[in-house]
Amino acid sequence: MTHVLGIDIGGSGIKGAPVDTTTGQLTAERQKLATPHPSTPDAVAEVVQDLVKNFGWTGVTGITFPGVVAGGVVRTAANVDHSWIGADAVKAFGANSHLSVTVINDADAAGVAEMRFGAGQGVAGTVLMLTFGTGIGSALFIDGTLVPNTEFGHIQIRGKDAEKRASELAREEHNLTWDAWAGRVAEYLEHMEALLSPDLIIIGGGVSRKSDKFLPLLPSLQAKVVPARLQNEAGIVGAALVATGS
């Protein structure tokens, strides 16, 4: 089994594509649909089903979720409807499609992809992947092994969740210049370095496409800081990899 459908659920959009899990390449053009509002389990599952139908998919499917997922059950839902909390995501997504479904935290999936095919490939030690989008997701790896569901975007900075100050959404909502936003990101990264002493920090999420606008503005850290190589496709690829047990 090498071709798996990967679906990445975010606070603003749900995107997916079939993935060749031996190469990490998408085998069809990525499709993106808007995340419904309210983003209840039934409403999100309906959009996921639309993506499945659009690809005519009947095989194994990996799906990310923007929150803690343990044993297929959602434990947190900061950037989607809170009715997800306690929901069986595997059942919600698989009930109507009759597909074999695996569900994983969205940043964890992106990190898995970057460690296999991207900026973390072959890197030992402690690697921290941070995704900047509607919120801030995190994935932590120790010698290539994932420590799941870290959710470091909710660490408090100046009395607020870090993602409320330093996510890409915060930059857009507060109309921050790249320099001003980089200052907030730098403060957050310095905090994470003090906590974890990572060897490598990978910056992913939608903003990774614009890394040239802010990475040069960040101060030097002990850790090497690099943009995600798979950029905003990392979640799709990682979801597919996890679905294969890779």
CB atoms within 10 A of CB 84: 22
pLDDT at 96 over 70: no
Residue 128 sits in the same domain as residue 220: yes
CATH code of the domain containing 62? 3.30.420.40
- On whether residue 33 sits in a domain, the answer given is yes
Q: Does 94 or 148 have the greater pLDDT score?
A: 148
Say what the pLDDT of residue 129 is: 98
16: nearest Cα among 31, 33, 37, 1: 31
- Residue 134 in tokens: 């509607």
Say what the pLDDT of residue 11 is: 87
Report the amino acid identity of residue 12.
S
Report the amino acid identity of residue 47.
V
Residue range 94-117: mean pLDDT, rounded: 92
Residue range 36-64: mean pLDDT, rounded: 95
Half-sphere exposure of 188 (CA within 13 A, CB side): 29
Residue 200 sits in the same domain as residue 133: yes
Residue 132 sits in the same domain as residue 40: no
Residue 10 sits in the same domain as residue 104: yes
Residue 12 sits in the same domain as residue 101: yes
- On whether residue 66 sits in a domain, the answer given is yes
Q: pLDDT band for 199, please (50, 70, 90 cuts).
A: very high
Residue 198 sits in the same domain as residue 239: no
Say what percent of the chain tops pLDDT 90: 89
- On whether residue 131 sits in a domain, the answer given is yes
Strand 101-105 and strand 61-65: pairing? parallel
Can the peptide bond before residue 38 be classed as cis, meaning omega within 30 degrees of 0? yes
pLDDT digits (tens, 9 = 90+) for 118-150: 999 999 999 999 999 989 999 999 999 999 999
pLDDT at 1 over 70: no
Say what percent of the chain tops pLDDT 70: 98
Q: How far apart are CA 138 and CA 141, in angstroms?
A: 10
- On whether residue 169 sits in a domain, the answer given is yes
pLDDT digits (tens, 9 = 90+) for 159-181: 999 999 999 999 999 999 999 99
Question: What SS3 class is residue 184?
Answer: helix
Strand partners, 69: 74
Residue 145 sits in the same domain as residue 209: yes
- On whether residue 34 sits in a domain, the answer given is yes
Say what the pLDDT of residue 12 is: 87
Half-sphere exposure of 191 (CA within 13 A, CB side): 16
- Residue 83 in tokens: 């009715």
pLDDT at 15 over 70: yes
Counting the structural domains of the chain, the total is 2
Q: pLDDT band for 49, please (50, 70, 90 cuts).
A: very high
pLDDT at 245 over 90: no
Domain containing 53 equals 3-108+234-243
Residue range 23-46: mean pLDDT, rounded: 96
Say what the pLDDT of residue 94 is: 87
44 class by beta-carbon count within 10 Å (0-12 exposed, 13-18 middle, 19+ buried): buried
Strand 25-26 and strand 3-9: pairing? unpaired
- On whether residue 117 sits in a domain, the answer given is no
Tally the residues of the chain.
246
End-to-end CA, the chain: 11
Residue 103 sits in the same domain as residue 18: yes
Entry pTM: 0.94
Report the amino acid identity of residue 22.
T
- On whether residue 116 sits in a domain, the answer given is no
- On whether residue 113 sits in a domain, the answer given is no
pLDDT digits (tens, 9 = 90+) for 65-90: 999 999 999 999 988 999 999 999 99
Residue 94 sits in the same domain as residue 79: yes
Residue 103 sits in the same domain as residue 176: no
Residue 219 sits in the same domain as residue 238: no
Say what the pLDDT of residue 206 is: 84
Residue 101 sits in the same domain as residue 148: no
